[in-house]
Structure formats: structure tokens, C-alpha cells
């Protein structure tokens, strides 16, 4: 992946004409706008645990900005003059650096560079908005594909939840680590189906501790992986979905 120092330099280059105070103010305004947009998109709070978890976890700010851009949302007028998407994404890159969200940085950086001098194609915009609205068709997962069980389990989670961002997937893994609901407790059918399909892919998550994910692979204890490795796998899956 591109180094964070280079990404920061590239983002600063795009906004270098803005006074520093104006740049910071726009970052704050853009983050607030994206978060407010999610509160509208997500609708009323659902009742089941899996749906509640996804509802309460904000998707990547870059995706929310792209959705605002794609729909020509007038709320962008004051924050993003002339609807300059690359500059808006540069502001989000710098905001994500301040927030310490490494994968939010990478998600914003890729289209920032790709569409610095050209407009994004409608087909790509549609895929981003479909992903955000939960209507994007999952990339088909074939058993013969040469991916390890953890990659396939993450692809299963993405397929069920329509989420490819690390914060959401980590929260889903926390749910999967918990014991299945007892018969006397109201079950979350979607969560239990997801649990079954993840285990069918060969993975059973055990715990998350000290930035490491512990799991069994095909009924054997596997070496834990860092959350950063999980994020890298999710970026791979995201690239497949958005091609």
C-alpha cells in the first residue's frame, strides 16, 4: 500500500492554495456533512443485533462524500465549491490522518488520485452508491478461487452485510465471537446464517485482544492476525467488488 507520508503529501498538494485555517474548517465541515448524510441514509434504528451494529457504524467518509457528489446534493455547495471531488477527497484524507483511520485514508486516497484530472465514470459512481445503499451485487465467491479461508470468511461477511470497511467488519466479528443465542432468547436469523456461512468457509473467530484477531481455521488454532492485516484483505475484496 502507498505510504501514509506520501499520501499526506499528495493530499496537501491538492489543497495548498487554501489557507491553513480554511483547510481545517473545511475538513471539519465535510466530516460533519458526511456523518449527517449517513444518519439520513441509514433510516430508523433496526431491532436485530446484526442490523443494529451496521446501523451504528459509520461507513467510510469517502464513500459518503462520493454519494453526495453522485446525487448532486446541494449541501455540498458551501463545503465543496465547483463540486471538486478530488479536492474534497484530499480534505477527507487529511481529516482521516488526524483521526488515525488508516484504512479510511486509503479508501479516500485511491479515487483522489484516480480522478484528480478526469471526472469519475458514472458506472463507478453507481457502484459506490450501490455499496453504500446495500444494493451492490457481491462479487461471486467460487470455491476454486485461490484465497485462504480467512479471505473467504471476510468475503462472506461482506456479502451478507454489504460492508467492506474495517470498523464495521470488526464489530461484526465481535458478534460472531459471542456464543449463539440460547433457544429461550430471540435469535437474530441473519446473524446465525452469517455465523454458519463463515464457519462453512472454515473460520471460527475466538477473540479480539491487543489488536490481534484469534481464530480457528478448519478446526485448528491459527496464528492470530493483526487488525491491519484484516484491513488489507478487505481492501483487496473492495477492489474486486468495485471493478
DSSP code at position 187: P
- Burial environment of residue 152 by CB neighbours within 10 A (0 to 12, 13 to 18, 19 or more): buried
Mean pLDDT of the chain: 93
Inter-axis angle of helices 189-200 and 166-177, nearest 10? 90
Strands 203-209, 220-221: pairing is unpaired
Does residue 131 surpass a pLDDT of 90?
Answer: yes
pLDDT tens column, 148-166:
999 999 999 999 999 999 9
Domain range list for the chain: 4-133, 149-242
Does residue 184 surpass a pLDDT of 50?
Answer: no
Mean pLDDT within 96-120: 95
**Please, what's the b/e burial string for 125-144 (b: 16 or more CB within 10 A of its CB; e: otherwise)?**
bebbbbbbeeebeebebeee
pLDDT tens column, 198-233:
999 999 999 999 999 999 999 999 999 999 999 999
pTM here is 0.93
Does residue 55 surpass a pLDDT of 50?
Answer: yes
Amino acid at each position: 500500500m502507498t505510504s501514509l507520508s506520501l499520501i499526506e503529501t499528495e493530499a496537501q498538494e491538492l489543497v495548498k492554495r487554501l489557507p491553513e485555517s480554511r483547510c481545517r474548517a473545511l475538513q471539519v465541515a465535510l466530516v460533519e456533512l458526511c456523518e449527517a448524510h449517513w444518519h439520513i441514509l441509514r433510516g430508523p434504528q433496526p431491532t436485530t443485533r446484526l442490523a443494529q451494529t451496521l446501523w451504528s457504524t459509520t461507513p467510510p467518509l469517502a464513500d459518503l462524500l462520493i454519494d453526495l457528489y453522485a446525487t448532486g446534493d446541494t449541501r455540498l455547495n458551501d463545503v465543496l465549491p465547483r463540486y471538486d471531488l478530488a479536492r474534497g477527497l484530499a480534505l477527507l484524507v487529511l481529516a482521516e490522518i488526524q483521526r488515525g483511520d488508516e484504512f479510511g485514508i486509503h479508501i479516500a486516497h485511491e479515487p483522489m488520485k484516480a480522478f484528480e484530472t478526469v471526472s469519475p465514470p458514472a458506472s463507478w459512481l453507481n457502484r459506490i452508491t450501490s455499496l453504500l445503499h446495500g444494493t451492490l451485487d457481491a462479487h461471486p465467491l467460487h470455491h476454486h478461487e485461490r484465497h485462504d479461508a480467512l479471505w473467504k470468511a471476510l468475503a462472506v461477511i461482506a456479502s451478507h452485510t454489504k460492508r467492506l470497511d474495517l470498523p464495521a467488519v470488526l464489530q461484526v466479528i465481535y458478534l460472531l465471537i459471542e456464543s449463539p443465542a440460547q433457544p429461550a432468547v430471540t435469535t437474530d436469523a441473519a446473524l446465525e446464517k452469517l455465523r454458519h456461512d463463515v464457519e462453512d468457509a472454515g473460520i471460527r473467530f475466538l477473540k479480539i485482544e491487543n489488536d490481534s484477531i484469534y481464530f480457528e481455521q478448519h478446526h485448528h488454532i491459527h496464528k492470530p492476525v493483526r487488525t491491519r492485516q484484516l484491513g488489507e484483505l478487505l481492501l483487496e475484496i473492495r477492489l474486486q467488488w468495485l471493478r
